[in-house]
Amino acid sequence: MNNTNLDSKSNFSSIAKFMHWGFVLLFIYGLLKQIDELNQLKDNALLQFEVIFATVFVLLLLIRFIYMKTTQKSSLPDSTPRSQLLAARVVHYGMYACLALIPLTGLLIGLLFWLGFKDGFFINAVVAAHEFSVSVIYWLIGLHILAAIFRRFKSDGVWSSMVPFLKEKSHDK
């Protein structure tokens, strides 16, 4: 296997790794505490919590996006085919988009519900957009994990640049 890039590109920073794995946990928490029915939003304390959680999530996501774009570089080897580079970009930007759309549509649902729009075309359309974003993020996360596993088997350093376990070993030294 070609391990020439294992040490040629730096790992992601500790902050980047913390943000990545922190968002994994934050997303899982969001899934576990999600509401099942719109009528649950009648509980003002729950509605308030959902608004705070979604707002904090979006702000942290924005901070993460800016940090990653301005301070970090891809750990993909220079020899990565253009098609894989494009696929990686589409998946990453798609995940950011969905991770933003899920809480933003959730906030809009909460606002509409609070304003008295408990049914009808508009709130149903926003709920559909919310649910669609959730469905798409599952697929994108799956693709992201499969790509990471693929890179792990290639032993090109991409896996070890972000994942804290099953580290790759450099064989070119």
pLDDT in tens, 64-120: 999 999 999 888 888 899 999 999 999 999 999 999 999 999 999 999 999 999 999
Alpha helices in 44-120 (DSSP H): 44-71, 82-114
What pLDDT is recorded for position 160? 84
Q: In this structure, which long-range contacts are made by residues 23-32, counting pairs with CB atoms below 8 Å and at least 24 apart in sequence?
A: 23/60, 23/61, 23/64, 23/99, 26/57, 26/60, 27/99, 30/57, 30/102, 30/103
Query: Are 84 and 49 contacting, i.e. CB atoms less than 8 angstroms apart?
Result: no
pLDDT of 165 above 90: no
Q: What is the mean pLDDT of residues 131-160?
A: 93
Which strand (E) or helix (H) includes residue 37?
none
- pLDDT tens for 18-67 read 999 999 999 999 999 988 888 899 999 999 999 999 999 999 999 999 99
Radius of gyration of the CA atoms of the chain, in A: 19
